């Protein structure tokens, strides 16, 4: 379908047209708009269009008002919220919250220490630590050695016997 109408109003007259529609335009402004409407078909069509929208919108239903008890309900809600805020705290409440803070801090410190220890154990042995263990071996006497298994016990007994004979 081809466009038949070009009802877009002149931008400088839109606000005045809205005023005119609401019956709020008078005096010189009304006369000036009247003159303009005689010569501008677009504004005249847009005005007719806008007037039609008023007729269309009369079908819409206004929002129903509140029930008679609404204000009382609001005040009751306000009072209950105020009472909840005013409710006195128990005697032990500050101590309990302090204890919880200590417990949380201690748990955090413990977790950090465990993490540090695990990481330290997992780290590869340094040259110094290897040498230290070797030095310790040099000065460890046979008698200081502790057998780790039954087989080692038997071997040590056999070695001792062999030495005595």
Partner 1 sequence: MNDVPKGVAAQAPALSVPLSRRSRGEEDRALVQQAQSGNEFAFEELVKRHQQRVFALVGGILRRREDLEDVAQQVFLKAFVSLKRFDQRAAFSTWLYKITVNECWDYLRKRKVRPLVYESDMSEEQVSRLDGLASQERPPEGPNDRAEARDLLERMLEKLPEQDRQLLLLKEVEGFSVQELAEILDLNVNTVKVRLFRARGRIMETYRKRLSSSGHAAKFPGAGKGRASDEG
Residues that bind partner 1 (CB under 8 A): 1-9, 11, 14-15, 17-19, 21-22, 45-46, 48-66, 70-75, 77-79, 81
> In angstroms, what CA-CA distances link 87 with 82, 83, 95, 148?
9, 6, 18, 68
Least CB distance from residue 35 to partner 1, whole Å?
A: 19
Q: What is the dihedral of CA 27, 32, 33, 37, to 10 degrees?
A: 140
Burial 27-47 (b: 16+ CB within 10 A, else e): eeeeeebeebbeebeebbebb
Greatest Cα pair distance in the chain: 141
Please, which residue, 37 or 45, has the CB nearer to partner 1? 45
Burial 68-101 (b: 16+ CB within 10 A, else e): eeeeeeeeeeeeeeeeeeeeeeeeeeeeeeeeee
Least CB distance from residue 94 to partner 1, whole Å?
A: 26
Least CB distance from residue 47 to partner 1, whole Å?
A: 9
Please, which residue, 73 or 114, has the CB nearer to partner 1? 73
Least CB distance from residue 4 to partner 1, whole Å?
A: 6
Please, which residue, 70 or 95, has the CB nearer to partner 1? 70
Please, which residue, 31 or 72, has the CB nearer to partner 1? 72
């Amino acid at each position: 379908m081809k466009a038949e109408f070009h009802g877009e109003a002149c931008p400088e007259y839109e606000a005045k047209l809205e005023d005119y529609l609401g019956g709020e335009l008078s005096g010189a402004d009304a006369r000036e708009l009247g003159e303009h409407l005689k010569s501008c078909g677009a504004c005249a069509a847009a005005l007719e269009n806008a007037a039609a929208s008023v007729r269309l919108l009369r079908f819409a239903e206004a929002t129903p008002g509140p029930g008679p008890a609404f204000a009382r309900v609001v005040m009751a809600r306000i009072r209950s919220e105020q009472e909840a805020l005013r409710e006195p705290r128990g005697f032990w409440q500050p101590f309990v919250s302090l204890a919880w803070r200590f417990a949380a801090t201690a748990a955090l410190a413990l977790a950090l220490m465990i993490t540090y220890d695990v990481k330290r154990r997992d780290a590869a042995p340094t040259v110094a630590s290897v040498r230290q263990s070797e030095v310790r071996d040099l000065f460890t006497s046979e008698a200081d050695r502790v057998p780790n298994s039954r087989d080692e016990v038997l071997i040590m007994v056999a070695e001792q016997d062999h030495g005595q004979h």
